[in-house]
């Protein structure tokens, strides 16, 4: 009999949500994101972005933002799994990609389309690459 694996359905507490925000803001710095890209990736306006950057520990993190943070952190983890060097880990999102899905676009182009679906699709592509099923 297989042991049962239980996934916690408990919502993240505020400190964990804010830690995720701080980690993503740091990741976006490593990706050298513009202000416009950050706003698109996080799904927020300029004033909210500035507040998050200056006071991440007082941020209110909505379910939409939490979903975006989760995808961005998972994308970063997939890149860390796939690549052993810093240039690829942080530079991949800026590289033109010619597989069927990206069709010459960069992952950043797809992710900054403004929807969560773009983040999901980039994560899905990287996840399939980790499994050897690129495409």
What would the pLDDT profile of 3-15 be if each residue is shown by its tens digit? Answer: 444 444 456 788 8
Q: Would you state the pLDDT for residue 120?
A: 96
pLDDT digits (tens, 9 = 90+) for 62-87: 999 999 999 999 999 999 999 999 99
Whether 96 has a pLDDT exceeding 50, the answer reads yes
**Residue 1 DSSP code:** -
Predicted TM-score (pTM) above 0.95: no
CA distances from 125 to 9, 76, 130, 135 (A): 26, 13, 9, 7
């Amino acid at each position: 009999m297989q042991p049962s694996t239980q996934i916690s359905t408990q919502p993240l507490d505020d400190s964990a949500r804010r830690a995720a925000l701080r980690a993503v803001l740091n990741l976006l710095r490593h990706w050298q994101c513009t202000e416009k890209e950050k706003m698109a990736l996080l799904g927020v306006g300029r004033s909210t972005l500035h507040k998050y950057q200056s006071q991440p520990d007082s941020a209110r993190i909505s379910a939409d933002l939490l979903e975006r943070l989760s995808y961005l952190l998972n994308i970063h983890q997939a890149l860390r799994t796939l690549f052993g060097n810093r240039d690829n880990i942080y530079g991949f999102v800026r590289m033109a990609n010619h597989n069927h899905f990206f069709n010459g676009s960069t992952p950043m182009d797809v992710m900054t389309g403004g929807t969560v679906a773009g983040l999901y699709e980039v994560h899905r592509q990287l996840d399939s690459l980790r499994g050897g099923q690129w495409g």
